[in-house]
Amino acid sequence: MNTTPISVRRDIDTVERAGSTPDVQQPWADLGLKPDEYQRIRDILGRRPTSAELAMYSVMWSEHCSYKSSKVHLRQFGAKQPQTDAMLVGIGENAGVVDIGDGWAVTFKVESHNHPSFVEPYQGAATGVGGIVRDILAMGARPLAVMDSLRFGAPEHLDTPRIVSGVVAGVGGYGNCLGLPNIGGEAVFDSCYQGNPLVNALCVGAMRHEDIHLAKASGVGNLVVLYGARTGGDGIGGVSVLASETFDATGPAKRPSVQVGDPFMEKLLIECTLQMFAEKLVEGIQDLGGAGLSCATSELASNGDGGMRVHLDRVPLRDATLSPEEILMSESQERMMAVVHPDNIERVMHICQRWDVTATVIGEVTNASHLQVYWHDDLIVDVPPRTVAHDGPVYDRPFHRPAWLDARQSDEPTTERCPRPSTAEHMRQQILELLASANLCDREWLTSQYDRYVLGNTTTGRGIAVSLDCNGRFGALDPYVGAQLALSEAYRNVAVSGATPLAVTDCLNFGSPEDPEVMWQFAEAVRGLADGCLELGTPVTGGNVSLYNQTATTAIHPTPVVGVLGVLDDVRTRITMHGAKPADAVILIGATQEEFAGGEWAHVVHGHLGGTPPQVNLVAERSLASVIRDHRHLITSAHDLSDGGLAIALSELVLRNDYGLDVSFADTDADAFTMLFSESVARAVVTTASENVDAIRAACELVGLPSALLGTVTADDFLSITTADGVITLSRAELAEGWSRTFARIMS
């Protein structure tokens, strides 16, 4: 075996050489840079970039890292931020941090890993979980739980089971091995996601206020420590053009561009990092995710005093043949970078050793204003870090309202277009049809593969509730309203647990920003979400944008997935959907209108997508939350109304409990069909002992919310719905029939 380090033989493109060879042709276009972007790099540096600098700029100025198409719109989240004392750290850090009282803070964020999950579903989803967990860890928090919002193609498509089984196994395989309970999420099927599945992963963590850490390198002489997995050739994708340009034919072969996860290493990284935090050994910290060392070094330096010297040859490698450019670009997982005072370095190295984690001092903070990267003795990067990390290109891309939208919005699901059930028996059949549909059926096939029991902890007494929601069809009908409806639903979901919603994270999944119609959808969704958050008083604390989710010219539905975080001051007072007892009264809170456009009934029964989505009513949403929160000691169970409306909520209550329900619509204005299938917002079904009905209804009236006494909880094992056209009776076994079998059928 030839043991001579290959790097010795390499022809290194140094800063000095770049200065003296201005006319060298560089593969900037192959790295995704536009002509004016390349020129801007040359202007910044006053010379051509070295190949290592070109690698850094190209990856950091990519859409994924720089948010160059979305930035101008995302600024609204700051500009329209509601007044709140809860936000301790806002947008721009690894994740936002929210005060939950008593010196405790919670950090949470949702992030996409869509494209890798299509290429390689298991690793794409697994490393998606790994990445978001490190973001939370980097804030100083112990990661507590994960959630995932998943979107797949049509249930009957041949490729769908491949993606679903890979993604679910990846989320489970990684999260289970980290010991983080998976506390929920979404799984949605729609043909618009066929070639563009969405994997959005959320992590939530908790810490004391004084443990909050930021990603910055300051303090001249402080040491830069890289720890965790060794750096390999995974995830370097496009940089191979550089390799082939710079090196001779014996250079490394093309490498896979999807990263491979090692959850065991991540678990060690978590414990080892938390021990460093506990001993107050860390001045600044950053996880290595997209763009790897390029991102971590430039962001740490840019957020700090600006100067940092890095010795790239000290980076521990899995593959000794990697070029400096590849090391800078590698997206090898399970790595962190900490800035440590020299007095603490011995202790940091000791902790890493205790956890069997490789740690290496690869550089130091300097009093220069540049990030300087050396490869052995050669200076190969010499840049102002801010120009890499924060001052990338910003595009105000053209956008316009799609020409087809008027036609779609005027195609309402009228009685002619979408005939409604004419008899009680017909409605009964449609309830069963909805329950057996891909998007409403039991998710046990999926959820049983995730560990939900780990880290039981009641030391603080405080509890948090998190929900992730979106309906892409609403977004397709009206992106402004669609984003607000996603917010509205997530807010309601948190509220029915009795928690007070505090803050928002979002994952904005859209098609190509270069398509003005898609860009309009994006702009509208951001505007809608920012306006909605302002009205609800829940600031956006951070999130992620995923663009280019489209196959050829067909984009996915606008899918702004919204996560809402709420807090309970005493977790024992939380409301579940399981606490009702026979003879309890069933109350519907909220107003029901004839709203079917974009809803499950129109989708499942008629395959129809048209009209205008349900009307947003955030005032009513706030009122609903306050009534439930203030009466949580009286409410025995609660279920929000969303996908599939009241029909699905009532069915789920019977399916997931050992009691029955006997309801009628005598106390309501609308017809039974509208009551059952409408998806009007700001509604929930609550149960309470009969003597408390008046108190709850009076509270609703006080805040202007209509309420209706629907009926009672029974000791039976069926759902009974009395309508003007007769009684609909559905036994638990009948409800379960299609509902419990559909998911397995999709997977077979």
Binding span for other proteins by CB under 8 A among 262-270, 491-499, 622-630, 639-647:
262-270
Of residues 30-59, those binding other proteins (CB under 8 A): none
Q: How far is the CB of 117 from other proteins (least distance, A)?
A: 19
Closest CA to 331 of 412, 228, 485, 249: 228
If binding is defined by CB under 8 A, does position 228 make contact with other proteins?
Answer: no
Say whether 606 is catalytic.
Answer: no
**What is the distance between the alpha carbons of residues 566 and 500, in angstroms, rounded to a whole number?**
5
Complex with other proteins: residue 244 or 576, whichever CB lies closer: 576
Complex with other proteins: residue 129 or 178, whichever CB lies closer: 178
Complex with other proteins: residue 80 or 741, whichever CB lies closer: 741
Say whether 64 is catalytic.
Answer: yes
Q: How far is the CB of 650 from other proteins (least distance, A)?
A: 24
Residues in contact with other proteins, counted by CB under 8 A, come to a total of 30
Taking the CA atoms of the chain, what radius of gyration do you get in angstroms? 27
Binding span for other proteins by CB under 8 A among 29-37, 154-162, 222-230, 454-462:
454-462
C-beta of residue 51 within 8 angstroms of C-beta of residue 27: no
C-beta of residue 265 within 8 angstroms of C-beta of residue 358: no
**What is the distance between the alpha carbons of residues 432 and 254, in angstroms, rounded to a whole number?**
52
DSSP 322: -
Of residues 423-452, those binding other proteins (CB under 8 A): 447-452
If binding is defined by CB under 8 A, does position 748 make contact with other proteins?
Answer: no
Q: How far is the CB of 180 from other proteins (least distance, A)?
A: 9
Question: Which residue of 3, 83, 250, 458 would you call a contact of other proteins, by CB under 8 A?
Answer: 458
Binding span for other proteins by CB under 8 A among 131-139, 256-264, 599-607, 643-651:
256-264
Complex with other proteins: residue 445 or 548, whichever CB lies closer: 445
Q: Is 611 left (phi over 0), alpha (psi -120 to 50) or beta?
A: left
If binding is defined by CB under 8 A, does position 262 make contact with other proteins?
Answer: yes
Total count of residues recorded for the chain: 748
Complex with other proteins: residue 456 or 607, whichever CB lies closer: 456
Which residues fall within 8 angstroms of residue 33, CB to CB, at 6 or more apart?
A: 41, 57, 58, 61
What is the DSSP track for 587-617? EEES------TTSHHHHHHH----S-PPPP-
Of residues 322-361, those binding other proteins (CB under 8 A): 354-356
Which residues fall within 8 angstroms of residue 74, CB to CB, at 6 or more apart?
A: 67, 91, 526, 545
If binding is defined by CB under 8 A, does position 571 make contact with other proteins?
Answer: yes
If binding is defined by CB under 8 A, does position 129 make contact with other proteins?
Answer: no
Which residues fall within 8 angstroms of residue 242, CB to CB, at 6 or more apart?
A: 27, 31, 51, 54, 55, 323, 325, 326
C-beta of residue 624 within 8 angstroms of C-beta of residue 589: yes
Closest CA to 597 of 690, 687, 677: 677
Q: How far is the CB of 164 from other proteins (least distance, A)?
A: 12
**What is the distance between the alpha carbons of residues 101 and 90, in angstroms, rounded to a whole number?**
17
If binding is defined by CB under 8 A, does position 572 make contact with other proteins?
Answer: yes
3-state percent breakdown (helix, strand, coil) of the chain, nearest 5? 40, 25, 40
Catalytic site residue from 73, 113, 603, 631: 113
Of residues 149-208, those binding other proteins (CB under 8 A): 169, 172-173, 176-179
Question: Which residue of 263, 284, 513, 532 would you call a contact of other proteins, by CB under 8 A?
Answer: 263
Complex with other proteins: residue 172 or 235, whichever CB lies closer: 172
Crossing angle, helix 516-536 and helix 71-79, to 10 degrees? 10
Question: Which residue of 457, 552, 691, 748 would you call a contact of other proteins, by CB under 8 A?
Answer: 457
Complex with other proteins: residue 262 or 382, whichever CB lies closer: 262
Catalytic residue positions, numbered: 64, 113
Residue ranges that bind other proteins, judged by CB under 8 A: 169, 172-173, 176-179, 262-265, 267-268, 354-356, 447-458, 571-572
